[in-house]
Amino acid sequence: MIRFIIVRLLTGLLVVFLVSVATFLMFFAAPNDVARTMAGKAATPETIALINHRLGLDQPLWHQYGHFIWRALHGDLGYDYYHQRSVVSIIKKAAPVSLSIAFGAAILWMILGVGSGIISAVRPRSIMDRTLNVIALIFYSMPTFVLGSMLLFFLYFKLTSAGHSWFPAAGYVPWFGKPDPSNPEHGFWPWMHHLILPWVTLALVTAAAYTRFTRGSMLEVLSEDYIRTARAKGISERRVVFRHALRSALTPVVTQFGIDLAILAGGTVVTEQLFGMHGLGWNSLTAITNQDLPVIVGILLVVSVFVVVANFIVDLVYAVLDPRVRLY
């Protein structure tokens, strides 16, 4: 057990390190015209050289990387090029937005996906199973931005212009903290109200995969010998499904869930863009278009840490759910 944890932590660190090298190389080694953009069109070569020097872009690459990773280890991810805000403060401001979207959607899609997957698997080939299968496949095939635009169009635009403003326009409203002077709304209900459409969008698209996944896994488990034994003992079907089968059927689902949640927590670019929520995804997209290198590399690094940590937790949960898994 101890050995397993140590090995996994070291591998995780290695992956984070490799990701940091990869993202760093991807952005800092590629030719960029940050200095030219900042200096404006009429800049002299001297000005550009000066800016490059101030940003440290004229140093050798390994030197820049060493500097970056040394500061990162001390909790400093540098400053953005255009407004001199610290990357850590940008991430701190954006993370609650992304986390709100990801966790709310996750609860919804687990209920929808796993629930419909179980219903499908319990009576395979039934009308219910086929209907759920078709619905799942349609949402599975639907890109997030298509579903999101449709929901915005019908539930926000059409309803509001018909005089029913049930759903708010785009924008994030914080739950905790000081209200923004430009946006006085805050608190639990406004927070939830503004997140409903993003949650539903993300949950429907993701739940579809979970329906299919749960169904397959559940079917496999229900054909195992120990399920036949349980039935032969006269245990009620409900107990067989929920107590005996579900536990092992959910192990692969949990694995997938951990990874999906980590990736979404790191920013849902499309959803954030569509619903005007300034989370990690929106910030990194903006940073990419502005070539704001420290922000991109910082966010990607944080996201990869999320994924690695999630993988680690998933492995532990796996062992708890499935006693056959031995940690070594």
Residue 240 DSSP class? I
Binding status of residue 43 toward another protein by CB under 8 A = no
Q: What's the rounded Cα separation, in Å, for the pair 289 and 283?
A: 10
Window contacting another protein (CB under 8 A); options: 13-21, 51-59, 82-90, 236-244: 13-21
Residue 174 DSSP class? -
Residue 241 neighbours by CB distance under 10 Å: 19
Which of 100, 211, 217, 304 lies at the binding interface for another protein (CB under 8 A)?
304
Binding status of residue 325 toward another protein by CB under 8 A = no
Q: What's the rounded Cα separation, in Å, for the pair 286 and 282?
A: 6
Which of 157, 175, 312, 318 lies at the binding interface for another protein (CB under 8 A)?
157
Binding status of residue 57 toward another protein by CB under 8 A = no
Binding status of residue 270 toward another protein by CB under 8 A = yes
Q: What's the rounded Cα separation, in Å, for the pair 229 and 287?
A: 58
Residue 277 DSSP class? -
Q: Are 23 and 296 in contact (CB under 8 A)?
A: yes
Which of 4, 57, 69, 124 lies at the binding interface for another protein (CB under 8 A)?
124
Give the residue with the Cβ less far from another protein, 174 or 295: 295
Binding status of residue 9 toward another protein by CB under 8 A = no
Per the listing, tokens 């980590």 go with 262
Binding status of residue 267 toward another protein by CB under 8 A = yes
Q: What's the rounded Cα separation, in Å, for the pair 201 and 209?
A: 14
Cβ at position 244, least distance to another protein in Å = 16
Site string for another protein, 194-233 (x = CB under 8 A): ----------------------x--xx-xx----------
Window contacting another protein (CB under 8 A); options: 1-9, 54-62, 108-116, 278-286: 278-286
Q: Are 280 and 101 in contact (CB under 8 A)?
A: no
Binding status of residue 145 toward another protein by CB under 8 A = yes
Which SS3 state, helix, strand or coil, does residue 328 take?
Answer: coil
Give the residue with the Cβ less far from another protein, 26 or 61: 26
Binding status of residue 249 toward another protein by CB under 8 A = no
Q: What's the rounded Cα separation, in Å, for the pair 155 and 176?
A: 27
Q: What's the rounded Cα separation, in Å, for the pair 320 and 300?
A: 30
Site string for another protein, 80-119 (x = CB under 8 A): ----------------------------------------
Q: What's the rounded Cα separation, in Å, for the pair 300 and 24?
A: 10
Window contacting another protein (CB under 8 A); options: 36-44, 50-58, 101-109, 284-292: 284-292
Cβ at position 127, least distance to another protein in Å = 15
Q: What's the rounded Cα separation, in Å, for the pair 20 and 139?
A: 34
Q: What's the rounded Cα separation, in Å, for the pair 203 and 261?
A: 11
Phi first, then psi: give them for residue 91, nearest 5 degrees: -65, -40
Structure tokens at 288: 């990419």
Which of 132, 269, 277, 295 lies at the binding interface for another protein (CB under 8 A)?
269
Residues that bind another protein (CB under 8 A): 11, 14-15, 18-19, 22-23, 26-27, 30, 124-125, 137-138, 140-146, 149-150, 153, 157, 216, 219-220, 222-223, 263, 266-267, 269-270, 273-274, 281, 284-285, 288-289, 291, 296, 299-300, 303-304, 307-308
